[in-house]
A = this chain, B = another copy of it.
Amino acid sequence: MTSIHDSPLVRKLSAFVALSENELGVLERLHQRRRSFVAGRDMVHQGQSEQTAYILSQGWVCSYKIQPDGTRQVVDFQIPGDFLGLRSVLLRTSDHSFEPIVDIEAAEVSAEHILDAFSQAPRLATAILWAASRDEAMVVEHLVGIGRRNADARMAHFLLELCARLSLVNMGSRSGYDCPLTQYHLADVLGLSAVHVNRVLRHLRERRLVTFRSSQVVIHDYGRLVELAEFDPAYLDQAGPLLK
């Protein structure tokens, strides 16, 4: 039997609030309706007004928008512990698609469920809204990266952000992590071509900064990578406000 303590969401939130027994119980109830999805088939399609959100417990998902001309822009990746479609369920407007990158496990949560949970454990609401605001901050940082960083720095920054996020749920460290993304995924998130992604990766590897190969990211020199990316994790760890 698996404990609620194994939930990546719990691990993530625990980094910011010490969760009470009551709060853990509410979270456990949120995880009731487990579902699986297979890699590659969209869970939610652009335009569709979906009424359910998910808490991702295993696997990776990407949320993206397709342009009329067929090009794709990935807005964000979700990793275990992340919400999928939280905003769209609260505000009934899903304007992008979700695609599982590998086979995934997720807990389905309806708007009611969430609002219930919020009223039973208000501090939990704050914690989850904090997580949501962090997601938004990541989108903004992503925007800045695409607008104002060159390809090398963009890649470095992206890999470092993933590192920080994965570390929070014990799925990585400063020396590296598992990563099921293809170079096409990287291209679509960074606004580059797949060919150029390949060259950038080679470049970073040759400079002995980081190696991305066979679904693994190995960070050779964390410090110099941070420097190249001008990575400032301030937008990720706003620990202060929630501790009280």
Name A's B-contacting residues (CB within 8 A). 47, 49, 65, 67-69, 71-73, 75, 87, 90-93, 95-96, 129-130, 133, 136-137, 139-144, 146-149, 190-191, 230, 232, 234-235, 238, 241
Contacts and interface: CB of A to CB of B under 8 A. Distances in A.
Given A65-B144, A230-B68, A238 B137 contact: no
Contacts of A137: 93, 95
B67 A230 contact: yes
B73 A148 contact: yes
Contacts of A146: 143, 146-147, 191
A148 B73 CA distance: 7
A93 B238 contact: yes
Among A49, A71, A144, residue most surrounded by chain B Cβ atoms (within 10 Å): A144
- Among A95, A129, A130, A142, the most chain B Cβ lie within 10 Å of the Cβ of A95
A79 B115 CA distance: 32
A152 to B, nearest CB: 13
A240 B163 CA distance: 40
A140 B93 contact: no
Contacts of A148: 67, 71-73, 191
Given A75-B140, A143-B146, 4 more contacts: A47-B234, A67-B149, A93-B133, A93-B238
Nearest to A142: B143
Nearest to A71: B148
A84 to B, nearest CB: 15
A65 B47 CA distance: 30
B136 A230 contact: no
A235 to B, nearest CB: 5
